[in-house]
Structure formats: structure tokens, C-alpha cells
Amino acid sequence: MLIKVKPDQRSNKPIWQDNLSWGDVVMFRFPSDEGGQTRPSKARPCVVHDVRDIAGVRLVTLVCGSKTTSQSEGGYGTLVVHPIAIAAAGLKGATRFNSGKRITVSVDHGWFVCGAAKTPVLGSLTGKTRHRFNSVRARVDALIDLAVSRRAQETRQQSSPLY
């Protein structure tokens, strides 16, 4: 008896797309708002805030990274300054990830920049840096949930009849 097997439709999909998780550091052309137009800028390291599958589409929320000389982690920032943390994240130097600058895109988005290994993944946050980033993630997610709840409440109030 001959059994025909259809080839896996996902076999052409790069492995990194399935393995992304929060705390991974990737290269992405994070958009800039210069000149009133949103356009891709140079590739920069971004840390994965969240990965979600919605309606069969894998989405990733990225936090923009930039070089830093500051040692301050205030607000929604996560600093990667320790040499071991820099190496584990695959970074070239001290970097600050500002969770106030986020973008959500499909893992198929063309602004991911792959290196020689055919993956945009540079490394991952570790130790205290990972713990700090997780705390910031929790605060950001709580603020998002609060805003959604507030918006829903305002919508209910606007749609209820006034007596």
C-alpha cells in the first residue's frame, strides 16, 4: 500500500520564527518618525517583549534598543551594561531598551535583518537584566490592560441611554 504524504507547508519557514520568545534580542529596522513619515531606519537591536499567535499569524512585539553611556534604568528602560550580559545578548556594547518604543509586527515582516547565520536573533537577555526586563514588561502589560478596561468602560457609558 502506497501512502502519499503532503509536504509540510511550514517547512520553508525559518526555524527562528517558531522559536522566538520574550527576552530574545533581534536585529530589526525599527521605524523612525523623521520628516513626518514612518519609514525603516538602520537596523538596530530590539528585544522581544511578547510573541502571540492571532488567527494563525505569529506576531511579535519589539522594544527598540540604542547605544547608551548612562547607568540609569529609570522609567521603562532596561540597561544591558555588564560585559557578560552584553555578550549573551549578542550586542556590541552597552545598550538601553526603551519599552516606551514598541512595535508589533508579523515574524514574516521584511524589516528583520538576518546575519550570516540566516537569522536576526543575536542572543537573549540573561540574569538580572532579564529579571529587570520582565518587571518592565509586567508594568507595560498592566498599563495596556488598564487602558483597554478604561476604554471599554467609556464605550459602555456612551452607549447607555441617559434617563
> What is the CATH classification number for the domain harbouring 118?
2.30.30.110
At 119-156, the pLDDT tens digits run: 999 999 999 999 999 999 999 989 888 888 888 888 87
Tell me which of 10 and 83 has the higher pLDDT: 83
Residue 163 is assigned to a structural domain of this protein: no
Is the CB of residue 101 less than 8 Å from the CB of residue 63? yes
Q: Are 69 and 81 in contact (CB under 8 A)?
A: no
Write down the pTM of the prediction: 0.81
Count the neighbouring beta carbons within 10 Å of the beta carbon of residue 77: 19
Report yes or no on 76 lying in a domain. yes
CB-based contact 154:146 (threshold 8 Å):
no
Instruction: Look up residue 95 and give its amino acid.
Output: T
- Mean pLDDT throughout 8-22? 79
For the chain, the C-alpha Rg in angstroms (whole number) is 19
Into how many domains does the chain fold?
A: 1
Domain range spanning residue 140?
A: 19-156
- Which of 163 and 74 is assigned the larger pLDDT? 74
Domain assignment present for residue 1? The answer is no
Distances (CA, A) of 45 to 56, 76, 136, 160: 26, 17, 18, 47
Structural domain includes residue 109: yes
Would residue 4 count as lying in a domain? no
